[in-house]
């Protein structure tokens, strides 16, 4: 059997075994939660995360089934509310459903280090355009973050620029959230809070945006110092 086929088979066996453990726990040993969820879902949190395989939001925060309503997109982007542009609106539909149907109490945008979408955004435009380059078209949503990054850190290394842009893009998405009338009204009425989180993949820490300081500050610090080469976690948006 070719090596790649063998690896694919191993993956499938791992996934099936994983479902069997899930089944045994939630339908066999402790069925109370799944029995409750069969009556409907009542998550209090909408989490908008990245498609990156390394940052599964449920796994990262230890969520149980039913805890979070999740929308995952390339680079955890939120587009501005634009009902008349004729496109498809998966993220917008998820936001609408979460607010109008599920009545969530908070929205978390979870970004992360080493984001491939942000890295693609920071690369120069290709000379030859590709009509089917969906990634670059999608990443145009984060152009304001790219512009602000280059304005402040134009002479920094690509690594620093990508990190700054990853965090600035979270703020851009938070701003875009407020263009949705259901979000804006719910925040104004005190029924909803919005949060920007950043997972530092290398350091193993979780940061949250502080509007007061204008920077991302640790909520859960790294277990050990990462040494003198560790990248700074704070950026200012002023």
Predicted pLDDT of residue 174: 98
d(CA 24, CA 42): 23
> Residue 222's closest CA among 197, 238, 189, 199?
199
Structural domain range at position 172: 41-197
Predicted pLDDT of residue 168: 98
Predicted pLDDT of residue 225: 63
- For residue 70, what are its two tokens? 């999740």
Predicted pLDDT of residue 227: 52
- What is the gyration radius of the CA atoms in the chain, in angstroms? 20
Task: Decide if 232 is inside a domain.
Answer: no
Task: Decide if 181 is inside a domain.
Answer: yes
pLDDT along the chain (238 residues), means of 10: 58 94 91 90 97 96 96 97 83 97 98 97 84 89 97 96 98 98 96 98 96 95 67 51
Q: Residues for the chain: how many in total?
A: 238
d(CA 171, CA 173): 5
How many distinct structural domains can be found in the chain? 2
Strands 45-50 and 68-73, sheet pairing: parallel
> Residue 76's closest CA among 122, 42, 107?
107
Predicted pLDDT of residue 238: 40
d(CA 169, CA 142): 6
- For residue 31, what are its two tokens? 């069925």
Predicted pLDDT of residue 201: 93
Task: Decide if 10 is inside a domain.
Answer: yes
Task: Decide if 109 is inside a domain.
Answer: yes
Task: Decide if 223 is inside a domain.
Answer: no
Predicted pLDDT of residue 117: 96
Three-state DSSP class for residue 8: helix
Task: Decide if 177 is inside a domain.
Answer: yes
Predicted pLDDT of residue 10: 85
């Amino acid at each position: 059997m070719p090596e790649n086929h063998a690896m694919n088979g191993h993956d499938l066996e791992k996934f099936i075994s994983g479902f069997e453990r899930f089944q045994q726990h939630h339908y066999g040993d402790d069925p109370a939660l799944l029995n409750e969820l069969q009556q409907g879902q009542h998550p209090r949190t909408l989490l908008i995360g990245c498609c990156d395989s390394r940052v599964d939001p449920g796994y990262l925060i230890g969520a149980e089934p039913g805890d979070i309503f999740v929308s995952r997109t390339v680079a955890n982007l939120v587009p501005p509310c634009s009902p008349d542009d004729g496109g498809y609106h998966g993220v917008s539909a998820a936001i609408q459903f979460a607010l109008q149907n599920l009545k969530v109490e908070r929205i978390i945008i979870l970004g992360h280090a080493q984001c491939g979408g942000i890295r693609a955004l920071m690369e120069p435009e290709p000379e030859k355009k590709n009509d089917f380059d969906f990634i670059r078209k999608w990443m145009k949503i984060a152009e304001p973050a790219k512009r602000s990054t280059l304005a402040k850190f134009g002479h920094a290394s690509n690594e620093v620029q990508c990190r700054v842009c990853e965090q600035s893009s979270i703020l851009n998405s938070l701003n875009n959230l407020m263009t949705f009338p259901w979000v804006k009204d719910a925040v104004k009425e005190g029924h909803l809070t919005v949060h920007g989180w950043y997972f530092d993949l290398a350091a193993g820490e979780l940061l949250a945006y502080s509007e007061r300081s204008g920077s991302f500050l640790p909520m859960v610090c790294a277990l050990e110092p990462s040494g003198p080469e560790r990248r700074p976690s704070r950026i200012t948006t002023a």
